[in-house]
Amino acid sequence: MNVFSAIVLSGSLAAVAGVTLLRVAWGRPLRSAPLLFAAWALVAAGLVQGAWANGAWGLSIVSLSAMGAAFAVLALAIVTSKPGKDRPSERRANILPDGGGPLFIGRRIFTFLLAVPLAMAAALLIALAGRAVAGWSGWHEANANVLAIFLLPVCWAILAFALLMTSRRRFQAILLIVPATIGAGILWLGSVA
């Protein structure tokens, strides 16, 4: 076993220990911030070790180890947990108003349009700008493409979440316009240069 394989193995073990410690911390009656911090620090240290040792391949191995540990811990919790004694909640989600109130269909459709196609368009501009910056920085074309493919869903999810958690339309507009403008500006600079 060479040094890099040992480092990846060490990172995998640290990530597995971190996931196990997370389960222990979440299973306690009161959450312990130091325990949670230690668990996440172990996972992060394992990921850094894997990335340092073998780049994306090492990061993938450590990530798979952490996901496998999480699957095992959750499967064990499912098998060993006792059924709850409390009845399910009788509360309604209040998605629709009671008794013929206004449905606000227009507002709902507008929110959908903001969070899905417009947020995706803004995320696409960010991803393409990230690809352009990577190309200008001397990255290989394949790596720049992978960066864009990675950035699109991540940025889209972040934007959609932020839009759905914000109730003011003005702030929603700012959340879309600012990243889209930055992305478009970077792309424009690339086309001019």
Closest to 45 in 3D by CA, of 5, 15, 88, 85: 15
**pLDDT tens-digit series, residues 21-33:** 999 998 888 888 8
Token pair of 29, please? 């009656």
What Cα–Cα distance (Å) separates residue 131 from each residue in 127, 134, 148, 190?
A: 6, 5, 5, 11
Statement: residue 1 has pLDDT above 90: no
**pLDDT tens-digit series, residues 61-98:** 999 999 999 999 999 988 888 877 777 666 565 666 66
**Where are the domains positioned within the chain?**
3-78, 105-192
**pLDDT tens-digit series, residues 154-167:** 999 999 999 999 88
Classify 171 as helix, strand or coil: helix
Statement: residue 103 has pLDDT above 90: no
**pLDDT tens-digit series, residues 109-157:** 999 999 999 999 999 999 999 999 999 999 999 999 999 999 999 999 9
